[in-house]
Every structure is written in C-alpha cells, then in structure tokens.
Amino acid sequence: MSTPRPDTRSDAAMVATGHPLAARAAALMLERGGSAVDAAIAADAVMGVVEPMATGIGGDLMVMLVPSDNDPVCYNGSGRSPAAFDASLLSHLPGQRLPERHVHTITVPGAVRGWHDLHQRHGRLEWALLFAPAIDAARAGFAVSPVAAREWALFEPVIARDPVSARLYRAGATPRAGEHFANPELASTLEAIAHDGPDAFYLGEPARAAERASRALGGVLLATDFAAHRGEFAAPLRGRFRGLEVLECPPNTHGLAVLHTLEALDALPLERDDPATAVAIVDRMDEALAHAKRVVADPAGNTVCTVVVDAQGFAITLMSSVFKRFGSGIGVAGGGFVLQNRGFGFAAPGELNGAAPSRRPYHTVVPGAALRHGRFHAGFGVVGGAMQPQGHVQLMVRTAAWGEGLQAAIDAPRWRLEAQRALAIEAGTPEPVAHALRQAGYREPAGEGELGGRSDFGGAQMVMRAPEGHLLGGSDPRKDGMALAC
C-alpha cells in the first residue's frame, strides 16, 4: 500500500488548481494584494493556455463565491445558442439530436465576460495585471505537462478535422510531455482583452472571426450573438449532509443531482467498510442523475477547476470549460482558440431542454462549496463532465462521513456512472466493493461515449478550513495540478 500524500497546509491563503503555472499565477496575484477572485481569474487564464483541450476563451465558466462577511453567491457564465438557431436545422439528424461535435453545437463563449463581471465586484488589482502570466505563457511558450500531452494526442483526430485547429494545435505532431508549445495568436487576443476589457472579445475581431468560422461550415453563429451575451449572479442551491450545508449552482447545471444524492444518503449509516454502502451511494447517485436528465438535460464533458481562499477568508471555486476535449474542434482564425460545443447538451426539440434559439443548454460545470455553522468549510470541484456531481458526492462522503484527510479523499479510487446501470470502477477499488457493485447489476461501460471504456475519473481541486483555523489544500494526481500555500 502506498503512503498517503499529505495535505498542503497554510495559515494564510491557499490555491488548488490544475497546473503549476496557474498556481504560481494565482499566488503572484495574492502576493500583490489581489483578492481570491483576482487570483482565480489569473489562474484560469493560464489554464486556457496550457490545457487548450479543456478550457479557454472559447468556453464558459461557472463560479461559487463564499465571502467571509456575506452570503454565498453563484455566477453563471454560460453562453446561449445563436439567435438564428432553429429546430429545423436538426431535422436531418438522427433523433433530431446534435452529434458530439458539429457546427450547430457552438454556443457563445461566456468565460471572458465572466472574468470581467467577477472582477468588477470583487477584484482589487488592475484588470490588465491579471493576464500577464497567461500572455507570457502563450507568447514565450511552456513545457507541455504529461496529462495534457496524453489527452492532446488522444484527441488529435478532433483538431485534425479543422484546418485552423490543425495548424494551431499541431495535428499530426501533437506536443509530447516536456515539449515546448507557444500560441502567439492567443497571446495577442489576451493582450487585447487585458487592454480593452471584454469588449475586445465580444465586440471585436474575435467575435467577427468566430462568425466567419461558423458560416464557413453552414453554422448560424453571428457576431451579434457575442455582443448580446450576459452572465448572471444568483443564490446557490443548498442541502444538508453530515452537519454541513453543501452549496451547488442552480440549473442549467446538474448541481441539484449532488444535493439530491447527499440528502438521500444523510439518513443512512454509510459504514465505510461495508460494500453495501458503495451500492447504496451509487444507487442514490444513479437516481439523482436520472432525475437531473429529465428536468435539466444530458451530461458529458471536460473542464478545469481553480479553488482559492485568500488571507481575508474570501473563497472562490471557479470552473471553466470548452466542454468536450477541444470543444467543437472549430478554430477561430487569428484568435488562438477553439469554440465550445455546449449545444451537445441540448435534448431533442420539444423536450424540456430542447434545442432552441438564444437558449442555454444543460451544463456539466458545477463548482461546489460547503459551510459549517454558516461559515466557509470547503471549496471544491471535480472536472470531467458527468464525473463532476459524482465526484462531489464521493469527496463529501469520504471527508464528511468517513473523516478521511482531504488529499487522501482526492487520491482514493472512484467510480463513474456513464449511463444508467453502466458503471466504470477505477483500478485500486477494493475487490469486495467492485464485486458488490457488479452483483447489484452495474455493468462495465465498454464502448459508452467518446472515451469508449477509457473512463475519465476526473480531477479534483479542493481547499478546506480545518477546525483549528488553518487551510488545507489538495490537488488530484489524475491531473497536472498542485495545491500551493500562499
């Protein structure tokens, strides 16, 4: 048995994010007197440079904010379908459902507007300063990290189909781990955003170039759709579990599935060493995801997560995504980024979440947090599409019900429901648990979805306030990130 990795500890501030360059960017903002929001924006901008298959300015963001002296609040930075989108565009498709990647899956990117909205409310540093680390990484280049390199190669066929993406992301010769990669086009776009704010993106050349990319493939996305985009602040959904108040974002995310599951589990003993406990947890999760599918939409995707708690106790969980790896795969010429494919989350026309003009699809991104006695206890996110709510439940059970250490809970083997009764079980799961789950009727999900049996068990980032008052941070070894005490 391997020795458990220790939690990272800080008496001041903490960052947990998906790449060391992003962690250092966040720490730099905190050192300069920035807020947790400043730090999270800087880290997220870097993540869009170093993990282009997962996130970027062509995607969305969702945020959970827990101020030290005010009520928690969510931010929904997801974009809508084009105003000119019409259900008749889907009439020739099987079941009138969009495939995973198609020009009509493109929705308006919400990340850049989201950064600005967050900064307007909670930023302390000058806007332009937040983007210096990302611009430097994009222009000077960086060493590609191991997990990113593996995913880059695995999803090379996605970028190979589009000439702009193929050139930008080196289809046919994707960078290997440790190899240098630069994106000067993205550096120039970020410089314009840093200098002129979100209008440089939503009213400028990136919006016009995105329209041209869409039109060239028969799409209906227009620059005016970019100009019309707005994000919203809202109250989070709340649920109880083992003395904690768990916070999730409201629809169009599937955060409600987390709360439904945890509230159903709270009445159970959840004996850690009893395989029947694992069956009970998966059963409740399966039921909750089925409910979310009926009332919200359909899950899948890839994401990045940053959690920051600053020295004043302000906490943020910020998650951004282009949805599937490399999103739609459709690159924006001169912009240095791909457009997301969130429209794949729409159901068939006429259903509750049916595809329609200027509409937000079901969203897999669910930043979470928990309160104890009304104050910040933890901020967390687990990237990986449908893994996100399932990861929240598994982290909460391990930390709040079983008392496991934060990093140990992150490192522990996971399970993932790919579809109803189709369950992937990660290597390292105790054999009695795996056997009980298979005996309960959960089949191996070979061939399910784009990963086709190579299930993604996600990547967690988490910061927790210990009872003694110090901060603990943890970062998932399944990704390239780190927790950094500041």
Q: CA 5, CA 244: separation in Å to the nearest integer?
A: 25
Query: Nearest Cα to 306, choosing from 475, 73, 131?
Result: 475
Helical packing angle, 184-196 and 132-140, nearest 10°? 160
CATH topology of domain 8-485: Glutamine Phosphoribosylpyrophosphate, subunit 1, domain 1 (3.60.20)
Measured in whole angstroms, the distance separating CA 292 from the mean position of its chain's CA atoms is 18
Q: CA 67, CA 368: separation in Å to the nearest integer?
A: 14
Q: Give the model's pLDDT for residue 455.
A: 63
Q: CA 371, CA 72: separation in Å to the nearest integer?
A: 9
How does the average pLDDT of the chain come out, rounded?
93
Q: Given a cut of 80, is residue 21 above it in pLDDT?
A: yes
Q: What does the pLDDT average to over 409-426?
A: 92
Q: Give the model's pLDDT for residue 452.
A: 43
For the stretch 303-349, pLDDT in tens is 899 999 999 999 999 999 999 999 999 999 999 999 999 988 887 77
Kindly report the number of other CB atoms within 10 A of residue 271's CB atom: 12
More confident residue, 111 or 254: 111
- Tell me what percent of the residues of the chain surpass a pLDDT of 90: 81
Q: Is the pTM of this model over 0.85?
A: yes
Q: CA 35, CA 116: separation in Å to the nearest integer?
A: 14
Q: CA 136, CA 122: separation in Å to the nearest integer?
A: 24
Q: Give the model's pLDDT for residue 298.
A: 43
For residue 197, CA distances in Å to 112, 125, 483 come to: 9, 14, 29
Measured in whole angstroms, the distance separating CA 72 from the mean position of its chain's CA atoms is 19
CB 332 within 8 A of CB 164: yes
For the stretch 23-41, pLDDT in tens is 999 999 999 999 999 999 9
| CA dihedral for 439, 442, 443, 445, sign (positive or negative) | negative
Copy the structure tokens of residue 185: 């086009």
Kindly report the number of other CB atoms within 10 A of residue 403's CB atom: 10
Q: Given a cut of 50, is residue 299 above it in pLDDT?
A: no
Q: Give the model's pLDDT for residue 2.
A: 59
Q: CA 97, CA 344: separation in Å to the nearest integer?
A: 8
Q: CA 59, CA 227: separation in Å to the nearest integer?
A: 15
CB 34 within 8 A of CB 123: yes
Q: Given a cut of 80, is residue 424 above it in pLDDT?
A: yes
Q: CA 462, CA 9: separation in Å to the nearest integer?
A: 12
pLDDT band of residue 283 (cuts 50, 70, 90) is: very high
Q: Given a cut of 60, is residue 1 above it in pLDDT?
A: no
What residues does each domain of the chain span?
8-485
For the stretch 428-459, pLDDT in tens is 999 999 999 999 999 988 754 545 445 689 99
Of the chain, the end-to-end C-alpha distance in Å amounts to 31
Q: Give the model's pLDDT for residue 296.
A: 59
DSSP secondary-structure letter at 98?
A: -
